[in-house]
């Protein structure tokens, strides 16, 4: 009966030697692996030592022994740079001198004409083509008090022959929804009895209060029903 043990079973190193001499093993072909040494960067301390060693014997040049050169590069001026410079110049004029701001270009601007008056009269009034001879300040008054002062002022103006007046009412920025007093002044000029005397009105220029004041051009005499029929 044959033994079930493998033919390569051995009991001692002497048996292993005898086995190798009689029948050498054939090892399978193995792949050769090249070991590549990684190029590690030197530590900062090592770099500093290398630098110091390379700089041995080198003497720094004193600051008062060399000429420092300052380079100034001239870049081409683009159209964007010109546009930015123009905007900045206009903004500077507006802040320092008030130039370049047109009240007529803002949403707060108002103007209007009454019966038989061309619309361009209101724009001419805003430009300053008509002389302003008197003014009244209603700013800060309650509506009822402002109405009394407004009526007394216009009565005095038409009695004394004034044709161009200025009414200061404020811009109404503190009002929750809309400028109440400014709206009331327009209503008194266009719907009340004074509409017969008011020829045109417009927001004032910035020098006279801007959107917080209104120029009023008065007629030398009120419009009659006969004039309207004509």
Give the chain's domains with CATH numbers: 78-107 (no CATH), 108-229 (3.30.1370.110)
pLDDT digits (tens, 9 = 90+) for 105-141: 677 889 999 888 999 999 999 999 999 999 999 988 9
Structure tokens at 150: 């407004």
- Length in residues, the chain: 230
Other C-beta atoms lying within 10 Å of the C-beta of residue 133: 14
Mean pLDDT of 49-68: 78
Structure tokens at 180: 């109440």
Q: Which of 5-19, 55-69, 72-86, 147-161 has the lowest mean pLDDT?
A: 5-19
Q: Which of 180, 143, 167, 171 is nearest to 217 (CA)?
A: 167
What local confidence, expressed as pLDDT, does residue 132 receive?
A: 95
What are the two backbone dihedrals, phi and then psi, of residue 201, each rounded to the nearest 5 degrees?
-150, 155
Mean pLDDT of 58-73: 69
The model's pTM: 0.55
Residue 157 and residue 132: Cα distance in Å, rounded? Answer: 11
What local confidence, expressed as pLDDT, does residue 10 receive?
A: 45
Enumerate residues 6+ apart whose C-beta is below 8 A from 214: 110, 166, 167, 169, 182, 185, 186, 201, 202, 203, 204
Strand partners, 218: 198
What local confidence, expressed as pLDDT, does residue 218 receive?
A: 96
| CA atoms within 13 A of residue 94's CA, in its CB half-sphere | 10
What local confidence, expressed as pLDDT, does residue 47 receive?
A: 82
Runs of H (alpha helix) within 62-190: 79-97, 120-127, 143-159, 180-190
| CA atoms within 13 A of residue 87's CA, in its CB half-sphere | 6
The angle formed by the CA atoms of residues 140, 145 and 149, to the nearest 5 degrees, is 95
Question: Under the phi-then-psi rule, with left for phi > 0, alpha for psi from -120 to 50, and beta for the rest, what region is 78?
Answer: beta
């Amino acid at each position: 009966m044959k033994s079930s043990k493998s033919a390569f079973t051995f009991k001692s190193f002497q048996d292993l030697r005898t086995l190798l001499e009689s029948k050498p093993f054939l090892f399978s072909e193995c792949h050769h692996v090249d070991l590549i040494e990684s190029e590690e960067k030197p530590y900062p301390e090592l770099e500093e030592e290398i630098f110091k060693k390379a700089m041995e014997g080198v003497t720094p040049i004193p600051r008062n022994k060399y000429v420092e050169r300052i380079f100034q590069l001239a870049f081409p001026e683009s159209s964007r740079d010109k546009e930015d410079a123009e905007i900045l110049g206009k903004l500077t004029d507006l802040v320092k001198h008030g130039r370049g701001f047109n009240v007529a270009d803002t949403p707060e601007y108002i103007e209007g004409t009454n019966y038989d008056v061309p619309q361009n009269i209101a724009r001419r009034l805003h430009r300053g083509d008509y002389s302003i001879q008197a003014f009244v300040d209603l700013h800060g008054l309650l509506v009822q008090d402002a109405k009394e002062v407004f009526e007394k002022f216009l009565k005095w103006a038409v009695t004394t022959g004034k044709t161009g007046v200025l009414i200061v009412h404020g811009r109404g920025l503190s009002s929750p929804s809309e400028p109440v007093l400014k709206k009331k002044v327009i209503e008194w000029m266009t719907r009340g009895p004074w509409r017969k005397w008011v020829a045109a009105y417009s927001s004032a220029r910035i020098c006279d209060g801007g959107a917080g004041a209104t120029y009023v051009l008065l007629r030398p005499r009120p419009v009659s029903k006969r004039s309207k029929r004509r």
